[in-house]
Structure 1
Amino acid sequence: MEALPRQRLLVLAGCDDARLDDLEQRQIIGPGVHGYSLSDVSRLRLILALQDAGIGPDILAEGLRRKIFSFEFASQVMFEPVSMTSASVADEVAAGTVDLDTLNGLRASASLPPLSAERSLREDDLEFVRLIAECMQLGASAAGMERVLRVFGHSVRRCVDTMRDLFRAEVEEPMLNAGLSYHHLLEISAAKRLALQRIGFRVLFLLQRRMLEEAVFDNIVGRLQDALREHGLEPEDEDSLPAVAFADLSGFAGLTHEIGDAPAAEKAARFEAIAQRLSCSFDGRIVKPLGDGVMMLFPDAASAVEASLSLVEQSRECDLPPVRVGVATGQVVPRDGDIFGRTVNLAARVSAVAGPSQTLVCLNTRTAAEAAVRGLAFQGLGAVSLKGFKDSVPLFAAQRRTSG
Structure 2
Amino acid sequence: MARTYTAAEVADEATCPEERVHWMTSIGLLTPDENGRFTFGAVLSVKMAIALLATSVPAESIERAAAEGLLKFQRTDEYLPYQPGPLSSRTFAEFQASAGPRARLLPAIFEVLGLPKPDPNAPIHADEEALFERFLEAWAMAPDEDALIRAARLMAAGTRAATGGWMDLQDEQVAEPARERLLRGELEEFPDDVRVGFTKVTRLAPDMFLWLSARYLEQRSVSGIVEGFERYLATRGLAPIPEPPSPPAIVFVDLSGFTRLTRERGDESAVVAATSLQRHADAVATRLGGRLVKLLGDGAMLRLADAAVGVEAAFDLVSTMSSEGAPSPHAGVHSGPVIERDLDVFGQTVNLASRIADVAGPGEVLASEAVVEAAGKVIFGFERIQDARLQGFPDPIPLYRVVRAGP
The TM-score range, normalised by the shorter chain, is: 0.7 to 0.9
Indicate how the Cα distance of structure 1 residues 62 and 126 shifts in structure 2: closer, same or farther if over 3 A, else same: farther
Alpha-carbon distance change, 115 to 37 in structure 1, aligned in 2, over 3 angstroms: closer
Aligned residue number for residue 215 of structure 2:
210
Q: CA deviation at 1:140?
A: 5.8
Residue 144 of structure 1 corresponds to 147
**Distance apart, 1:249 and its partner CA:** 0.8
Measured after TM superposition, the shift of residue 80 of structure 1 is: 2.1
Contact 1:362–1:396 (8 Å) recurs in 2: yes
Q: Distance in 2 between matches of 1:3 and 1:378?
A: 68
Assess, with a 3 A threshold, how the Cα gap between structure 1 residues 26 and 310 changes in structure 2: closer, same or farther.
Answer: same
User: What are the superposed Cα offsets for residues 55-89 of structure 1, whole Å, 9 maximum, x if unpaired?
Assistant: 45333211111222211132222222346725531
**387-396 vs 293-302, greater mean Cα deviation:** 387-396
- With over 3 angstroms needed to count, the CA separation of the structure-2 counterparts of 1:95 and 1:51, relative to structure 1, is farther
Is it true that 1:77 corresponds to 2:79 in the alignment? yes
2:190 counterpart SS class: helix
Amino acid at match of 2:383: Q
Matches within 5 A, 1:128-143: 129-135=132-138, 137-139=140-142, 141-143=144-146
Report the more deviating stretch, 24-33 or 188-197: 24-33
Deviation, 1:269, is: 0.8
What letter corresponds to residue 81 of structure 2 in structure 1? F
The correspondence of residues 2-401 of structure 1 with structure 2, limited to 5 A, is 4=4, 6=6, 9-11=10-12, 13-14=14-15, 16-33=17-34, 35-38=36-39, 39-51=41-53, 54-82=56-84, 85-87=87-89, 88-97=91-100, 102-122=105-125, 125-127=128-130, 129-135=132-138, 137-139=140-142, 141-179=144-182, 184-185=189-190, 187-224=192-229, 227=232, 234=240, 237=243, 240-371=246-377, 373=378, 375-401=379-405
Give the partner amino acid of 1:314.
Answer: T
Distance 1:206 1:20, change over 3 A: closer
Report the RMSD for the aligned CA atoms in angstroms.
Answer: 3.2
Tell me the distance in 1 between the aligned counterparts of 2:275 and 2:114: 24
Distance 1:236 1:326, change over 3 A: farther
Q: Quick one: structure 1 residues 252 and 391, their matched pair in 2 at CA, closer, same or farther if it must change by over 3 Å?
A: same
* Alpha-carbon distance change, 221 to 396 in structure 1, aligned in 2, over 3 angstroms: farther
Question: Quick check: 2:178–2:191 contact (8 Å CA) kept in 1?
Answer: no
* Equivalent residues of 2:88, 2:126 under 8 A apart: no
C-alpha deviation, 1:276, in angstroms: 1.1
Cα distance, 1:8–1:109 mapped onto 2, change above 3 Å? closer
Q: Deviations over 1:216-263 (max 9, x none)?
A: 344344445555676786456468432111111112122223223333
Deviation digits for residues 13-54 of structure 1, max 9, x if unmatched? 555433333333334324244643424444344434444555
Amino acid at match of 1:18: E
Q: CA deviation at 1:272?
A: 0.9
- Partners of 1:201 and 1:358 in 2: CA distance: 42
Q: Does the CA-based 8 Å contact 1:23-1:57 persist in structure 2? A: no
Per the alignment, do residues 21 and 174 of structure 1 end up closer, same or farther by CA in structure 2, a change over 3 Å counting? closer
Return closer, same or farther for 1:169/1:227 CA change in 2, 3 Å cut-off.
Answer: same
Kindly provide the amino acid, as one letter, of the partner of residue 117 in structure 1: P
User: Whose RCO is larger (CA < 8 A, sep 6+)?
Assistant: 1
Amino acid at match of 2:274: A
The answer for unaligned runs of 5 or more in structure 1 is none
CA contact (8 A) 2:254 2:331 kept: yes
Please give the alpha-carbon distance, in whole angstroms, between the structure 2 residues aligned to 1:237 and 1:246.
27
Shift of 1:5: 5.7
- Percent identical pairs in the alignment equals 25
Shift of 1:171: 0.3
Offset of residue 2 of structure 1 = 8.1
Q: Which letter maps to 1:254? A: R
**Secondary structure class of the residue paired with 1:31:** coil
Assess, with a 3 A threshold, how the Cα gap between structure 1 residues 363 and 139 changes in structure 2: closer, same or farther: closer
Helix, strand or coil: the match of 2:334?
A: strand
How far apart, in 1, do the equivalents of 2:102 and 2:235 lie? 43
Preserved contact between residue 239 and residue 368 of structure 1 (Cα < 8 Å): no
Query: In the alignment, residue 206 of structure 2 is paired with which amino acid?
Result: F
Separation of aligned partners in 2, 1:382 and 1:231: 51
Deviates most, 59-68 or 94-103: 94-103
Q: Which amino acid aligns with 1:68?
A: L
Unaligned runs of 5+ in 2: none
Report if aligned partners of 1:79, 1:194 keep a CA contact under 8 Å in 2. Answer: no
Q: Secondary structure at the match of 1:72?
A: coil
On the 8 A contact 2:167/2:202 being kept in 1, the answer is: no
Q: CA deviation at 1:144?
A: 1.0
Cα distance, 1:202–1:177 mapped onto 2, change above 3 Å: same
SS class of match (1:85): coil
Report the CA distance shift for 1:51/1:123 in structure 2 as closer, same or farther (over 3 A): farther
CA contact (8 A) 1:247 1:325 kept: yes
The count of aligned residue pairs is 401
Report if aligned partners of 1:287, 1:337 keep a CA contact under 8 Å in 2. yes
Decide whether the 8 Å contact of 1:5 with 1:36 is kept in 2.
yes
